[in-house]
Every structure is written in structure tokens, then in C-alpha cells.
Amino acid sequence: MLVGAALALQVAAVWGAAPRTSGAGNALADLHTALGVTCASCHGTAKVAAVDDSERSINVTCVGCHGNLDAMAAQARAGSHVNPHKSHLGDINCTVCHMGHVQSKAYCTNCHAFAMKIPAGDPVPQKPAPKAAKKAAVKQRVERADVVVIGAGAAGMTAAITAHDAGARVILIEKQPITGGNSMLAAGGMNAAGTRFQKAKGIADSVELMYQDTMKGGGNIGDPALVRVLAKESAGSVDWLTSLGADISDVGRMGGASVNRTHRPKGGAAVGAHIAGVLKKNAVQRRIDIRLNSKVVKLIEDNKGRITGVQVEGKHSGLYTIKAKAVVLTAGGFSANADKVAFYRPEYKGMTTSNQPGATGDGMDLGAKAGGELKDMKEIQIHPTVAAGSRILITEAVRGNGAILVNHEGKRFVNELTTRDKASAAILAQTGKSAYLVFDEGIRKSLKQIDGYFHLELVKEGATIQELAAAINVPATVLEATVASYNAAFDGKSDPDFKRPDIPRPIRTARYYAIEVKPGVHYTMGGLKINADGQVLAASGTPMAGLFAAGEVTGGVHGNNRLGGNSISETITFGRIAGASAAKLVKGGAKK
């Protein structure tokens, strides 16, 4: 009976198919019941159904009946434009989207405007909660670990792996139902100087040049000590990632860089999902304790102000405490927190963001409440090229590989490889406060991730420049002249109009393409103040005992403007440093 019911449900659950309902309710549990699947099939026969916060046991049952994500992806209806079971999010739990007793929702729609149908996607009427019987007070459970890492993006997974490999027992806490954070969305690449991959391509670079570029790009207000660490350790971080199985052997250029130093997978694929997948695989192989749907609500201090653990609120388990010898904050920035963005920068109120929904600044708040100093909080970056009408970031690597920016009059108006703040300001000064990225088939083939923009239907195209001009409603003769002038600059190896420092390709190969872009809130340069060992600093300037931080939760590395490619570089380098410092403290080292 259950086998037949499971097969029937499997067919019904294929994305876009119309599921059968019993009429008894709208929840996924009701659909299962209508097919003869009992509560015990998912929850077992125990009197009290226990579900872990990461929902691993439930997902094992889901996969047992329906197959894994690859199996479900293979069943997608012919002609489906978007396959939700095959995405850049990687191997995620079924329960990220499919909820048993409340309304199901496609996680993709947090960022994308896909018209996705999902079984049990209609609102579920909520029954009045029964009056709770008086219960005896239950003692809150207490666990122990050497190191607790808060936030499972690239910085957090890097810190966790590093601390684990140094001999520490690590618990990695993530409030979202998936790992990866904003790192999962990183597109352009990872900046590093003096790497083996640069040397193999004959690219002359140095730690000093990367330091100077980063300081200049950030308005010379970045912390020089932290920027030097970023540059000095960048090649080592590339080697470390490569040793874990990452491919970042392709090298390109992004805005503000003097030479090609942006490392990414071969063919120019997006770096973030690749690195996040490699880090997660390594964390799982090491059996690091990763807890999803778990939010740290408080840092625990002893009577001397030393951080000695965390209080966690699990989705199913409720409040509990983890005592630890060291805590590492890697919970990211706050670009998805519209209220916090508007508080610090009122002029950005109502602006879209390119960030995933978990980027709300919780880690900064935790550190600040414990006494950590915040710095540069008003330094919020808007990225110049977010696809108009969406939250989809168009990677800076498109411009780095040769695309140009033109306005609604069909003219170039800025050096496409200038820093993000200047490019954003230039776009906002144009008609409609938007512009078009224009490129050709040659540029498309040079960067694999451009194919994704076609998949998302963000691209207009034409067989000729004239046809493209008609598609985006700009004067054809002007656009033709603009492209011809740019091609002449390529031929002459000089851009007299806008002084673009690098023109790697002309725009001559049909077909021709354009994506309308607008600036959007992208990155928060401010955060908790740290030193070169990743220790969080109090307002007095002294390190807070037992507390470390890395990644976008910190401030000081990027000044008032982050260069493209420096985010992943920061998360890996300072994630390694914070993880190593935390493990050293656990093992009796000096960093307290």
C-alpha cells in the first residue's frame, strides 16, 4: 500500500503537476494522507515525534520515497524553463521548500520572480492552538564544544574546517535552512596576488600592488594592517582552496584592479556556488556538526567578560546552550535588512538588494551587544549592475571580459572597469537611472556564467547592432557609432574617451546582446572591528576574550568601497585566520 501511495505521490509532486487533494486540508501532510501515507511513515512510531532542527531524518524519508534531487530533476516536465531541483543552491534538503504542516514555498522565489507551482503551495488554514496543559519546568539542555562558528557561508565553513583540522571539536550554526550564505551568490571571482595560476599565464602581480589597489579602491580609509593581511595571504588561500578540490585556475580582471588577479573556475563559471559546494563537501567529509534552522540569540559571557558559549534557538528543539572555549562570528552583512540599510543610509530606502534573505546583520548585533566595537557602518555598497526589475546580480566579470555600458541614448558614459561606487553613480545619473550592458557572441562564449542570464530571460538580442538597438529601444545609428568607437579603441589599445585600462575583446561577432541594469544594495563594508588575528575588539581597543570574527560581519578591510573579487578573498583568508586563532586558544595558545 505504502509503495503504491509513494509512487503516486512522487508523480504528483513533480514540479508544475497538479497534485491530488483529499479536501481535508491544504498541507503536504494532507496530500500524503489522501494517498494512504500515515504519520508513522515519516515520523516513526514513537509516542512523541521528534524532528531535529536540520530535519535530516524527515529528508531521509523524503529521498527514500521520491529519490534525491537528481532523480527529481530528471522528472521535470518537458519544456519546463526552470528546474527547481537542479540549481546553484546545490544539494539542499527537501524541506527547504516542501513543508509538512504549513504552506510550502519555493525557496527560489526569495530572490527570483519565477511563477512556480508547488504541491501544497496554497495557504494552510491554521487551527486554534489548544490550551497548553501546565508542565513542570524543563531544564534547558546544555552541550559542549571547543569552537562554535555562527554562520555557514564561505567564511564560516572555512573557519570550521580550519579549526577542525587543528584538532578542535566544532559546531557550525546556521539560521537559514541551507548553507552557503551570500557566498553562494558570488559571481565574479576571488582576488589574489602572486599565485601559481597568474605565473602560469605570465601575469606580473605583487602583494604590494594588490594592497595599493585595495586601499585606493576603498578611499584609503581601510585598516592598513587588515588590507596587508588580505593581500599577503591571498595566494596561500588560493592554494588552500585548490588543495580542497576547488578549481579557480582561470584568471580575469574586475574593476579597480591594475592587473588580472580575479580567480574563478575554468571557462569563467560563477565562483561562489563552486567554492561553497567544495567547502560543504569538505565539512561533511570531516563530519563537522552543521546545524541548520538554528539561530544564535545570545553570546554567553562569564563574570570576567569572556565569551564562553552561545544560546541557540532551534526550529524544533527550542532554546538550548552550547558552552565553548571560543566563538567565531561569520554571520555576514545586512544588505537584505531594508530597515537597517535605511537607518544608516536613508537615500537607499526602497532600493532592491542582490542579497539572500539571511543577510540581516544578526551577527553584528550579537557582537555589539557583547561589547564589540562597530566601525564603518554607513559604508554600504550599491552594485552597478543588478538586472532591472529583479534581484539578480550581473557579475562584474561580464564587463571585465569586454562588455560596455550604454545609456538609453545609445552612448557609453563611463569607464566600465572603474570602481563600483563610481559606476553606480554614473548609471544613476542617466535617463531612467538605468543602463544596458552590451556584448557579443565572443564575450558570451568567454564567460560561462553568462548563459545563466539567458536561462533567466534577462537578455535582449539581435542579429545585428541595428536589430539590438530596436530590441532595447535606443537610436540605432548612435549605438552603431558607439560600438564602432569601442572597437577602434580595442584596435588601438587605447580608450581616449573613458580611459578604460583593459579592453580584452572587441564587440564584432554576431549575435549581439544587452541586459538592462540598475544599481542595487549589494555589500556592507562596516561591521565588527577585528585585529589581524581575527579577534573582535572592544571599544577600548582590547581583544574580547574568546570571540573571533571573519567575513562581511567585520569592518575595516574594504574602506568605503569593496573591489569586486575581494569578498571571497576576505572570507577565505580571514576565515582561515579566525579558525586557526580559535583552535589555538582551545589548545592553550596565546590568542585569548
Q: Is residue 171 part of a domain?
A: yes
The answer to whether the CB of 433 falls within 8 A of the CB of 427 is yes
Q: Tell me which of 52 and 413 has the higher pLDDT.
A: 413
**Domain extent at residue 339:** 147-186+264-379+526-586
pLDDT of residue 458: 95
pLDDT at 14 exceeding the cut of 80: no
Q: Is residue 208 part of a domain?
A: no
Q: How confident is the model at residue 71 (pLDDT cuts 50, 70, 90)?
A: confident
Q: Is residue 235 part of a domain?
A: no
Same domain, 567 and 491: no
Q: Is residue 280 part of a domain?
A: yes
- Which residue, of 464, 490, 520, is where some domain finishes? 520
Same domain, 279 and 159: yes
pLDDT of residue 118: 84
pLDDT at 575 exceeding the cut of 60: yes
pLDDT of residue 12: 36
d(CA 83, CA 65): 20
The answer to whether the CB of 270 falls within 8 A of the CB of 174 is no
pLDDT of residue 349: 93
Q: How confident is the model at residue 28 (pLDDT cuts 50, 70, 90)?
A: confident
Q: What's the whole-number average pLDDT of the chain?
A: 90
pLDDT at 11 exceeding the cut of 60: no
Same domain, 398 and 475: yes
113-to-33, 109, 160, 390, 392 alpha-carbon distances in Å: 31, 6, 34, 7, 10
The answer to whether the CB of 90 falls within 8 A of the CB of 280 is yes
Q: How confident is the model at residue 216 (pLDDT cuts 50, 70, 90)?
A: very high
Same domain, 309 and 414: no
d(CA 423, CA 257): 14
Same domain, 374 and 391: no
pLDDT at 120 exceeding the cut of 90: no
Q: What is the CATH number of the domain that holds 397?
A: 3.90.700.10
What burial class does residue 50 get, using C-beta atoms within 10 Å of its C-beta: 0-12 exposed, 13-18 middle, 19+ buried?
Answer: exposed
pLDDT at 572 exceeding the cut of 90: yes
Active site residue ranges: 420
d(CA 427, CA 291): 42
- When pLDDT is averaged across residues 237-266 and rounded to a whole number, the result is 96
Same domain, 414 and 514: yes
pLDDT of residue 285: 98
Q: Tell me which of 510 and 129 has the higher pLDDT.
A: 510
Q: What is the DSSP string of 164-226?
A: HHTT--EEEE-SSSSSBGGGGG--S-EE-SS-HHHHHTT----HHHHHHHHHHHTTT-S-HHH
Q: How confident is the model at residue 13 (pLDDT cuts 50, 70, 90)?
A: very low
Q: Is residue 476 part of a domain?
A: yes
Region of poorest pLDDT, from 1-15, 68-82, 195-209, 456-470 = 1-15
Same domain, 179 and 292: yes
pLDDT at 133 exceeding the cut of 70: no
pTM of the predicted protein model: 0.86
- When pLDDT is averaged across residues 60-79 and rounded to a whole number, the result is 82
- When pLDDT is averaged across residues 550-567 and rounded to a whole number, the result is 97
Q: What is the CATH number of the domain that holds 293?
A: 3.50.50.60
pLDDT at 592 exceeding the cut of 80: no
Q: What is the CATH number of the domain that holds 66?
A: 1.10.1130.10
pLDDT at 17 exceeding the cut of 90: no
The answer to whether the CB of 555 falls within 8 A of the CB of 376 is yes
Same domain, 398 and 486: yes
Same domain, 157 and 298: yes
pLDDT of residue 342: 97
Same domain, 171 and 320: yes
pLDDT of residue 6: 36
pLDDT at 415 exceeding the cut of 60: yes
pLDDT at 591 exceeding the cut of 80: no
- When pLDDT is averaged across residues 275-303 and rounded to a whole number, the result is 97
What burial class does residue 49 get, using C-beta atoms within 10 Å of its C-beta: 0-12 exposed, 13-18 middle, 19+ buried?
Answer: middle
Same domain, 347 and 385: no
- When pLDDT is averaged across residues 401-412 and rounded to a whole number, the result is 98
Would the CA dihedral through 334, 335, 336, 337 be positive or negative?
Answer: positive
d(CA 277, CA 290): 14
- Which residue, of 86, 110, 134, is where some domain finishes? 110
pLDDT at 495 exceeding the cut of 60: yes
Q: Tell me which of 198 and 46 has the higher pLDDT.
A: 198
271-to-56, 190, 268, 349 alpha-carbon distances in Å: 28, 8, 8, 30
pLDDT at 21 exceeding the cut of 70: no
d(CA 124, CA 509): 53
The number of domains in the chain is 3
pLDDT at 19 exceeding the cut of 80: no
* Distance between start and end Cα atoms, the chain: 60
Q: Is residue 251 part of a domain?
A: no
Q: Is residue 35 part of a domain?
A: yes
- Which residue, of 520, 544, 565, is where some domain finishes? 520
Same domain, 485 and 352: no
pLDDT at 589 exceeding the cut of 60: yes
- When pLDDT is averaged across residues 302-331 and rounded to a whole number, the result is 97
pLDDT of residue 130: 53
Q: Is residue 487 part of a domain?
A: yes
The phi and psi torsions of 445 (rounded to 5 degrees) equal -70, -20
Q: How confident is the model at residue 80 (pLDDT cuts 50, 70, 90)?
A: low
Give the rounded percent of residues in the chain with a pLDDT score beyond 70.
91
- When pLDDT is averaged across residues 528-548 and rounded to a whole number, the result is 97
